[in-house]
Amino acid sequence: MGYKVIIRENWCKGCYICLSVCPKNVFEKAGLLDDRGIIVSKAVRPENCIGCQMCADHCPDLAITVEKEDE
């Protein structure tokens, strides 16, 4: 059973708190600026996610949802 890490990228401001609080190194900075000029956060290793919600609870922009993957 795994988790889906959804990032509402148009709400993300690239503070990277999610990178720092994630215990499983799920996130990385995007490789490119988006059209607002922001390097957003990407959930590049969602398979590592343990569903602890640290990223979702600490996101100042309410941009992250972590959901259980459907069986």
Smallest separation, CB 71 to another protein (Å)? 19
Do residues 42 and 66 make contact, with C-beta atoms less than 8 angstroms apart? no
Smallest separation, CB 20 to another protein (Å)? 3
Output phi, psi for 4, to 5 deg.
-95, 130
Q: State which of residues 34, 47, 67, 69 lies at the interface with another protein (CB under 8 A).
A: 67
Q: Residue 48: is it exposed, middle or buried by C-beta count within 10 angstroms (0-12/13-18/19+)?
A: middle
Are β-strands 41-43 and 27-29 bridged in parallel, bridged antiparallel, or unpaired? antiparallel
**Chain residues 6-65 in contact with another protein, contact rule CB under 8 A:** 8, 10-17, 19-21, 53, 56-65
Part of the chain binding another protein (CB under 8 A), chosen from 4-12, 25-33, 43-51 = 4-12
Q: If residue 46 lies in a helix (H) or strand (E), which one and from where to where?
A: none
Q: Summarize as ranges the residues that interact with another protein (CB under 8 A).
A: 8, 10-17, 19-21, 53, 56-65, 67
